[in-house]
């Protein structure tokens, strides 16, 4: 059951702290369930993937487009800034979560973006129960968060291909090195 008062308070708090609302496709979990739950009940396939998406690059775009091709709706879970710092270390993210969410939401292949505060999207996946859960091929199948919930609900888990030659960490390394050469 959705707690509407909580959702309204959360939205009002966010607006008071951040000013302008985000892109209309940047939604709360409750909004996503309301908007896309009906789609799912009407036979549309809901796909979920997640990541940091710091310094969006062609590898990210290809992965997102591939994920979108697996269904009718693509929902992207986005690690919060604190989550990215915990996963990637100090100095990350380069781009704040709200800006990363805006960029992702503007992509044609993305239907909704959700910023999650936890280290993993376990709670989000368990609430959404997407028809397809997509994670990068660099993740071993037994380590994909949400796998058990999705499969128990009759969904499937897909390990996407790793797009070689693209890595945010590698891009940042090259930037740091080029800065040293210019001195």
Residue 113 and residue 101 in contact, taking contact as beta carbons nearer than 8 Å: yes
* Residue partners of 172: CB distance under 8 A and separation at least 6: 55, 94
Gap between the Cα atoms of 91 and 73, Å rounded: 33
Give residue-wise pLDDT tens across range 141-183.
677 999 999 999 999 999 987 777 777 777 777 887 877 766 5
For 21-181, CATH number? Answer: 3.40.50.620
Kindly list the domain boundaries of the chain, sorted by start residue.
21-181
| pTM of this structure | 0.82
Residue 86 and residue 170 in contact, taking contact as beta carbons nearer than 8 Å: no
Structure tokens at 7: 């959702």
Give residue-wise pLDDT tens across range 112-151.
999 999 999 999 999 999 999 999 767 666 779 999 999 9
pLDDT at 181: 67
């Amino acid at each position: 059951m959705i707690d509407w008062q909580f959702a309204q308070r959360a939205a009002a708090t966010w607006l008071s702290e951040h000013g302008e609302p985000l892109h209309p496709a940047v939604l709360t979990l409750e909004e996503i369930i309301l908007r896309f739950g009906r789609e799912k009940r009407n036979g549309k396939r809901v796909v979920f993937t997640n990541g940091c998406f710091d310094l969006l690059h062609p590898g990210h775009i290809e992965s997102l487009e591939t994920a979108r091709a697996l269904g009718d709706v693509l929902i992207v879970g986005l690690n919060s800034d604190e989550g990215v710092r915990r996963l990637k270390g100090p100095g990350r993210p380069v781009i704040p979560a709200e800006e990363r969410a805006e960029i992702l939401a503007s992509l044609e292949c993305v239907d909704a973006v959700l910023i999650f505060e936890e280290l993993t999207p376990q709670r989000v996946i368990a609430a959404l129960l997407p028809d397809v859960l997509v994670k990068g091929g660099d993740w071993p199948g037994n380590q994909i968060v949400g796998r058990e919930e999705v499969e128990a609900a009759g969904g499937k888990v897909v390990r996407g291909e790793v797009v070689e030659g693209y890595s945010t960490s590698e891009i940042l390394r090259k930037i740091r090195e080029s800065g040293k050469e210019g001195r």
